[in-house]
């Protein structure tokens, strides 16, 4: 069971490059890459809010619950 972050899919839908989104939400490319690859252990509400604002989506569009994925440690 685990949460899957669907940022990569959302960015592809909106045709938003990683560095552009990182610049707009004021985080580093490396941190956004951590988020995109699902390595993040936690997401700040402020970051989520900024991503939703820039990608014009809801938090539910970015997060998905997958029962088959191993839980985060």
Partner 1 sequence: MRYFGHKSLSSILYRLTQAGWILMIPGVLALCTLLFFALFQIDLGDPITSGINGECAKMTHDQDWQEMMSMPPLARTVVFPYLFLVTFLLVQILRKSQSLFDNFRNNSVFRTANVRILSNLNKYMIALAVVTFNPATLLVCLILMLVTEILKDGSTLQDELDLTV
Question: How many residues in the shown chain lie near partner 1 by CB under 8 A?
Answer: 12
| Residue 7 burial (C-beta neighbours within 10 Å; 0-12, 13-18, 19+) | buried
Question: Which of 10, 11, 21, 27 lies at the binding interface for partner 1 (CB under 8 A)?
Answer: 27
Least distance in Å: CB of 67 to partner 1?
23
Q: Which residues contact 53 (CB under 8 A, 6 or more apart)?
A: 25
| Residue 16 contacts partner 1 per CB under 8 A | no
User: β-pairing, 63-66 with 2-5?
Assistant: antiparallel
Q: Which range, of 11-19, 36-44, 52-60, 61-69, touches partner 1 by CB under 8 A?
A: 36-44
């Amino acid at each position: 069971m685990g949460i899957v972050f669907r940022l990569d899919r959302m960015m592809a839908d909106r045709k938003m490059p990683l560095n552009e989104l990182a610049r707009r939400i004021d985080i580093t490319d490396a941190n956004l890459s951590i988020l995109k690859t699902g390595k993040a252990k936690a997401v700040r509400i402020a970051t989520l809010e900024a991503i939703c604002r820039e990608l014009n989506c809801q938090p539910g569009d970015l997060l998905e619950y997958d029962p088959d994925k191993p839980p985060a440690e």
